[in-house]
Chains A and B, each alone.
Chain A
């Protein structure tokens, strides 16, 4: 499996965020995306998901099942938590497990140790716990590409450790991870992409 970006350019609000962006990732490789605020890290992740159309260039995924779009093979963890406060932790996870198809609820609960909190209302969780709940989605269903936007926000050291362990397992199984992060992540990143260098006018 190979994920390839060719001469990607992105424009938001009339401003050219980056141009000429290229990368190739094979299964088992991870990429860290860095850059200042507003540089276009989130936009790059959303382009890969298929939400935004790049102004120029394209994303290609080689050796993928015919009927799937790239987005359907991604796990996208955004800034927003996608959690319903009126549902319990277990109900939140069960919904996403059912929505993404035959997900493993217990694996999701165990991913960040949320088992004891399973019956709690998600609205009562702290920020960090909500982030853990969001990230548990990654272990519900197996999807090849992980797109993580600031995943470590609000996580304590143990949780960060767990996240990196999950990322390592995923890479070992042949998956791809692309993470946009300010904080240090202790995972085996193969490539680092700094978007600052690709803004308009500089290559």
Chain B
């Protein structure tokens, strides 16, 4: 049942779109606009590159969070999934896995490559990528919570951003310090990575519970 949801949703995304395509466009736009806006000074770009890329990743995952439950909610499938043998929490987890596989993970793999445009230090490519992959799971899960809150709302976009932004800050902070870790102190690198993993594990448990509760509120 868990895998049935994942298989169906991936098939739908492959046929209908709604995966990383739009988000990738957004990341590209941000990364191209920054040098145009700030100026092509190599030193400056190199310094701010990891930060810019993390922010681009966060924002694009946030943008796509709206879509996680919307389609199923509007055609009545989501309610029926609440009546299955599988608990709604696991349904949410399955949807988070799909979102991760189709949005957050591809983004976290491709965004570091765009570091070329921002004169990212070559030694940072791997740590940045690794940190982003580790953080991406948490981003998807928190995106699920945000997506659940604004189901069926026209004005949901602003509220999602305000709600999820404070929750994304810890991931941004530790993700960044993990990305530049090899240039900084070693203990900073280790601590940051462990924190990212801790966030991921905590979100796997807490986010589905919160999101399922919110979905049940929407079924009323």
- Is B a genuine binding partner of A? yes
Q: Would B1 and A99 count as touching, CB distance under 8 A?
A: yes
Q: Which candidate, A1-9, A80-88, A190-198, is the interface stretch facing chain B?
A: A80-88
Task: Quote the shortest CB–CB distance from B18 to chain A (angstroms).
Answer: 10
Given A80-B75, A82-B75, A83-B75, also A99-B16 (CB < 8 A): no
Q: Mark A16-52, 1 if CB is under 8 A from B, else 0.
A: 0000000000000000000000000000001001111
Q: Would B82 and A99 count as touching, CB distance under 8 A?
A: no
Contact of A86 among B12, B81, B83 (CB under 8 A): B12
* Beta-carbon nearest neighbor of A137 in chain B: B80
Q: Would A95 and B76 count as touching, CB distance under 8 A?
A: no
Main secondary structure of the interface of B (DSSP, over half): helix
Determine the distance from Cα of A96 to Cα of B77 in the docked complex, in whole angstroms: 10
A53 interfacial by beta-carbon distance below 8 Å: yes
Determine the distance from Cα of A151 to Cα of B14 in the docked complex, in whole angstroms: 32
Q: Mark A136-178, 1 if CB is under 8 A from B, else 0.
A: 0000000000000000000000000000000000000000000
Q: Would B84 and A100 count as touching, CB distance under 8 A?
A: yes
Q: Mark A52-70, 1 if CB is under 8 A from B, else 0.
A: 1100000000000000000
Which residues of A are found within 8 Å of B83, using beta-carbon distances?
A: 49-50, 71-72, 74, 76
Q: Would B82 and A95 count as touching, CB distance under 8 A?
A: no
Given A84-B8, A99-B84, A101-B85, also A76-B77 (CB < 8 A): no
Q: Would B75 and A87 count as touching, CB distance under 8 A?
A: no
Which residues of A are found within 8 Å of B8, using beta-carbon distances?
A: 84, 87, 91, 95
Given A52-B220, A95-B4, also A71-B75 (CB < 8 A): no
Given A71-B83, A74-B83, A78-B76, also A86-B16 (CB < 8 A): yes
Q: Would B82 and A51 count as touching, CB distance under 8 A?
A: yes
Which residues of B are found within 8 Å of A71, using beta-carbon distances?
A: 82-83
Determine the distance from Cα of A82 to Cα of B81 in the docked complex, in whole angstroms: 10
Determine the distance from Cα of A46 to Cα of B219 in the docked complex, in whole angstroms: 9
Q: Mark B1-15, 1 if CB is under 8 A from A, else 0.
A: 100110010011001
Task: Quote the shortest CB–CB distance from B25 to chain A (angstroms).
Answer: 22
Q: Would B82 and A87 count as touching, CB distance under 8 A?
A: no
Task: Quote the shortest CB–CB distance from B148 to chain A (angstroms).
Answer: 16
Determine the distance from Cα of A129 to Cα of B86 in the docked complex, in whole angstroms: 28
Determine the distance from Cα of A81 to Cα of B71 in the docked complex, in whole angstroms: 12
Determine the distance from Cα of A41 to Cα of B83 in the docked complex, in whole angstroms: 19
Which residues of B are found within 8 Å of A72, using beta-carbon distances?
A: 83-85
Tell me the B residues contacting A by CB distance below 8 Å.
Answer: 1, 4-5, 8, 11-12, 15-16, 74-77, 79-86, 216, 219-220
User: 15 additional contacts, CB 8 Å, given A74-B83, A99-B1?
Assistant: A51-B79, A51-B216, A51-B219, A76-B80, A78-B79, A83-B75, A84-B8, A84-B75, A86-B11, A86-B15, A91-B8, A95-B4, A98-B1, A101-B1, A101-B85
Closest 7 pairs between A and B when the two form their complex, measured CB to CB: A80-B76, A98-B4, A51-B219, A82-B76, A86-B15, A82-B77, A71-B83
A-B contact pairs, 10 of them (CB 8 A): A51-B82, A51-B219, A52-B219, A52-B220, A72-B84, A76-B83, A82-B76, A84-B75, A84-B77, A86-B16
